[in-house]
């Protein structure tokens, strides 16, 4: 559905979008390997729709729209963060230049709205998608502001996690519930499920970003520390008036990426505090909040079990 919808795009931009999704190479030759990408958001949308008692096909357009929104924001995020690799391939901006990736992202943003035009509950889903997009953009900008700072508090880090990761998963569940014809209260509980799941996921990701095994994550060791990312364990360590807080702040005030030696020092400092355990507590708390919100939505039992399984898979992940 994603692919056929993008077939309606003008040709030059369609080519760029296909490059991003890994459908073809720059010569237009179809790639044999199935494109990577877990379509977690689409899965959430379809399960949310089933959880309110509807057939999943009612939510196909919504699931596609959410993936389009997600991919548009990836295209722009990679430009913003200067990330060179996406799904094991060069990021589009790295391969085709910033203008190409910027415009392909714009096209996917509009394509995500277009996707909903002829769906059931088009008005409600469109309005929800647009509101989520604005929150997402604000979250991304707060992340930009955060990255230019040398330190951050837990609340700021949590607010970025809610705005960036939480909002998209919230939107995925919300759109599925709306497409399934759910009443506003039920929609709101499923939205809350997705939002909390997103925050839990981001905190879990922050743990992997520091303590993850490079052999499993596919990323260099200590990648988040190296880039002086203000992730949750770092914010927790910096919170107190402790000597650890002072030392980590001093390390992070450097203007360039941390060396291996500095990363090891940073990890040593963080491990002197209870930052890892405190971050894990946040994962557990937001997971519990997510599960509670799900129960308030009185979901159908089978999709509810699948949503819970998907949530656990997302949070207890190695990469």
Residue 75 near residue 101, CB atoms below 8 Å: yes
Cβ proximity of 207 and 281 under 8 Å = no
Q: By CB under 8 A, is residue 2 in contact with a copy of itself?
A: no
Q: Are 154 and 274 in contact (CB under 8 A)?
A: no
Query: Do you know the residue count of the chain?
Result: 319
* Of positions 84, 85, 145, 309, contacts a copy of itself by CB under 8 A: 145
| 108/2 Cα distance (integer angstroms) | 11
Q: How far is the CB of 191 from a copy of itself (least distance, A)?
A: 17
What's the CA dihedral at 191, 2, 305, 158 to 10 degrees? -40
Q: Which residues on neighbouring strands pair with residue 30, listed in sequence order?
A: 24
| Selected binder of a copy of itself within 53, 141, 154, 272 (CB under 8 A) | 141
CB nearer a copy of itself, residue 136 or residue 294: 136
Choice from 83, 138, 274, 300 touching a copy of itself (CB under 8 A): 138
Listed ranges 41-49, 103-111, 260-268, 305-313: which one lies at the site for a copy of itself (CB under 8 A) = 103-111
- Residues 113, 117, 123, 128: what is their CA dihedral angle, to the nearest 10 degrees? -20
Contact status: 171 vs a copy of itself (CB under 8 A): no
Residue 139 tokens read as 């979250």
Asked if 134 interacts with a copy of itself (CB under 8 A), we say yes
Q: Which of 110, 183, 240, 246 binds a copy of itself (CB under 8 A)?
A: 110
Q: Least distance to a copy of itself from the beta carbon of 293, Å?
A: 23
How many residues touch a copy of itself (CB under 8 A)? 39
| Residue 89: DSSP 8-state | E
> x/- binding map, residues 60-79, to a copy of itself, per CB under 8 A?
----------------x--x
CB of 91 to a copy of itself, least distance (A): 14
Q: How many alpha carbons lie under 13 Å from residue 74 in its C-beta half-sphere?
A: 18
How many Å apart are CA 252 and CA 274, to the nearest integer? 19
Contact between 149 and a copy of itself (CB under 8 A)? Answer: no
Give the pair of three-digit tokens for residue 27: 């010569």
Q: Point out which residues bind a copy of itself (CB under 8 A).
A: 9-13, 16, 76, 79-80, 97-100, 102-103, 105-107, 109-111, 113-114, 117, 122-123, 126-127, 130, 133-135, 137-138, 140-142, 144-145
């Amino acid at each position: 559905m994603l692919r056929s919808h993008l077939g309606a795009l003008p040709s030059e931009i369609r080519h760029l979008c296909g490059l991003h999704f890994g459908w073809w190479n720059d010569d237009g030759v179809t790639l044999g390997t199935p494109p990577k990408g877990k379509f977690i958001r689409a899965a959430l949308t379809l399960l949310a729709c089933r959880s309110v008692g509807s057939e999943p096909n009612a939510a196909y357009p919504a699931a596609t729209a959410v993936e389009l929104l997600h991919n548009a924001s990836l295209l722009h995020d990679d430009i913003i963060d200067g990330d060179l690799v996406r799904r094991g391939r060069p990021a589009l901006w790295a391969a085709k230049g910033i203008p190409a990736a910027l415009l392909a992202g714009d096209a996917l943003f509009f394509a995500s709205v277009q996707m909903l035009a002829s769906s059931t509950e088009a008005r409600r889903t469109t309005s929800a998608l647009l509101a989520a997009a604005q929150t997402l953009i604000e979250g991304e900008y707060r992340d930009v502001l955060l990255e230019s700072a040398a330190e951050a508090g837990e609340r700021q880090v949590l607010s970025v996690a809610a705005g960036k990761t939480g909002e998209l998963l919230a939107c995925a569940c919300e759109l599925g519930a709306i497409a399934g014809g759910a009443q506003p209260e039920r929609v709101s509980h499923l939205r809350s499920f997705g939002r909390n799941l997103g925050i839990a996921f981001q905190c879990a990701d922050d743990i992997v970003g520091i303590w993850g095994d490079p052999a499993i994550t596919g990323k260099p060791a200590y990648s988040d520390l190296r880039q002086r990312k203000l992730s949750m364990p770092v914010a927790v360590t910096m919170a107190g008036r402790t000597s650890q807080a002072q030392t980590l702040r001093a390390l992070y005030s450097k203007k360039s990426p941390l060396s291996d030696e500095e990363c090891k020092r940073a990890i040593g400092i963080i491990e002197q505090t209870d930052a890892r355990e405190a971050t894990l507590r946040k994962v557990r708390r937001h997971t519990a909040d997510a599960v509670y919100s799900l129960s308030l939505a009185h979901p159908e039992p089978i999709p509810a079990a699948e949503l819970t399984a998907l949530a656990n898979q997302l949070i207890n992940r190695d990469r």
